[in-house]
Chains A and B, each alone.
Chain A
């Protein structure tokens, strides 16, 4: 198997801060790989280790099998879509996109033609003459994308590219990025702190915390089978059951995760555990109720069609044994 990017026990320390601490990853060619984690978890530093703006303190970064520590960013077969786009304000959109070709010495007519092709790819033909300041956030994002793709990189790095867009635009761009990745067939490495974005777009996800990867796997793995409490907490709406609570609910005495939609509300005393409804929130497709079960709180998602208990009602909660996913103690 050939890998697009490999991290071989890579660390990057800034003084005493271990931004990246002994990380090993193998990113397959042609895949859509997401690095997910809270800010300061080391995911952006990992991206910068691939692009060459950071050099590892220890370990090796290999790009298509070649050790790349001594290769400056301009000589790596990767390009980046920067977080706030980093478009050149003094150049037109066309010259921004053609920049990578210009520095290679490709003559003006050819590079402008190729830039126009790229602009068409991101549906911005006819915007070539404008300046970046005359574009909306979503359009700038597309220009940044076109600019990074014009050199035909073998790996495209995206640093929180959708962070500055509003919700609706973000969802539309998620679909477009995914489609673009399939169409071009190149490897996308995507950094985000938005678990929804990571799970919906990527085919592999690495969850970062404190400079280390806590779990790597398919989106289903991460969502259904979080390895640690941190992952369960960070990746979404899973309840974390302490060993004592698991025991009370009839499970083994260990940390477990339990998804909100895996539980159903039943009559009091009829379920595995019973408690009192503290809040009911209407979220359209579901109602999310919070149940106080003797000091611990569990969140339950009730599908729109079903009756939800009222606030203050006594309720029992039931789920199948398989819905409880056992986690590591850490």
Chain B
């Protein structure tokens, strides 16, 4: 008999049964505190900083509400950083989606048993090693004396590589000091974050929808466009949130591989550190948040989440 053995555990379990909301509160309050105070709270503190300004003569922070710091973002030097970072993030995202889709499609529709295990291993394995190791490895691969130049030489295609490197803006002395190099490393490092959500989304598309489309007269390309892509869109958007925001915020890759021009992350790092300009660093940090907000808003308007 349950009533015969009273105790704290029994009393609590009875209480939770009578009042399920108490149980919910007990479960949720610790993570909500963590999320609310430490996570959102620190973000809010950061945002508040962006509405302060710095006194240019004394270097002290002036704690008065102003939009002056945001106006500074629009100065050509700063605006270039935002534009450069956004374009890079967009390029990386589009390329990652294009490369990830066939891989994810194969894994979701065709890979079985061992091939599926191999797929997961292949996609996840790079994530197991240190980010810095991978980035430095790529610096060596892309360097002028690196294996890539050597291999291109070996197949007699150095003229093509030189032509690419001679392109204005994105070219450079070698791949490791060009935007192309930065792009390649970003693409490599963030690709798994695109493949996995797209694969998960494709796996949820029932095979009989593809048959129904085919049965109704659609060619494979039409099925891709009208059935598979719309249903995979939430996965592609989820992946692009990763690749886009990770690229927007990264400050290590562009520092190691690429031209020495700054990206947003590097600007934040520089302003909050050596320059001591916390308000401007905060304002820079707000930029990716705003861009992501706009991006999601547009995606929603385009109906990207209709299939959810």
Contact = CB atoms under 8 A, between A and B. Distances in A.
Interface string A64-83: 00000000111100111011
A321 interface: no
Contact of B212 (A78, A82, A102): A82
23 contacts: A53-B211, A73-B214, A74-B214, A74-B216, A78-B215, A80-B215, A83-B208, A86-B206, A86-B211, A87-B212, A88-B209, A88-B227, A90-B306, A90-B307, A99-B213, A99-B216, A99-B226, A100-B217, A102-B226, A103-B217, A103-B219, A148-B215, A151-B216
Interface string B206-237: 10110111111111001000110011000000
Nearest to B219: A74
A99 B225 CA distance: 12
Contacts of B231: 89-90
B214 to A, nearest CB: 5
Contacts of B209: 86, 88
Contacts of A52: 215
A183 interface: no
A147 interface: yes
Chain A interface category by residue count: 20 to 34
B215 A73 contact: yes
Nearest to A102: B226
Contacts of B227: 88
A102 B215 CA distance: 13
Nearest to A76: B215
- B interface secondary structure, majority: helix
A16 interface: no
B149 to A, nearest CB: 47
Contacts of B230: 90
Nearest to B205: A89
Nearest to B230: A90
A51 B216 CA distance: 10
Given A74-B219, A103-B222, A86 B212 contact: yes
B89 to A, nearest CB: 27
Given A88-B227, A90-B231, A103 B208 contact: no
A313 to B, nearest CB: 50
Interface of B: 206, 208-209, 211-219, 222, 226-227, 230-231, 306-307
Contacts of A147: 212, 216
Given A73-B211, A86-B208, A79 B216 contact: yes
Contacts of B215: 51-53, 73-74, 78-80, 148
A197 to B, nearest CB: 21
Nearest to A51: B215
Contacts of B219: 74, 103
Interface string A26-54: 00000000000000000000000001110
Contact of A80 (B206, B212, B218, B306): B212
Contacts of B206: 86
Of A53, A79, A82, A88, the most chain B CB neighbours within 10 A belong to: A88
A104 interface: yes
A74 B211 contact: no
Contacts of B217: 74-75, 100, 103-104, 151
Contacts of A102: 226
Contact of B208 (A84, A99, A151): A84
Contacts of B306: 90
Contact of A72 (B212, B214, B307): B214
A100 B214 contact: no
Contacts of A51: 215
A83 B208 CA distance: 9
A314 B125 CA distance: 78
Interface in A145-176: 147-148, 151
Nearest to B233: A90
A73 B218 CA distance: 9
A60 to B, nearest CB: 21
B67 to A, nearest CB: 42
A74 B222 CA distance: 11
Contacts of B212: 80, 82, 86-88, 147
B307 A103 contact: no
B226 A103 contact: yes
Given A90-B231, A90-B307, A100 B208 contact: no
A177 to B, nearest CB: 18
A22 B211 CA distance: 25
Nearest to A80: B215
Contacts of A103: 213, 216-219, 222, 226
Contacts of B226: 88, 99, 102-103
Contacts of A53: 211, 214-215
Contacts of A78: 215
Contacts of B222: 103
A205 B219 CA distance: 33
B121 to A, nearest CB: 28
Given A87-B212, A88-B213, A148-B216, 18 more contacts: A51-B215, A53-B215, A73-B211, A73-B214, A74-B216, A74-B217, A83-B208, A84-B208, A86-B208, A86-B209, A88-B212, A90-B231, A90-B307, A99-B226, A103-B217, A103-B218, A103-B222, A151-B216
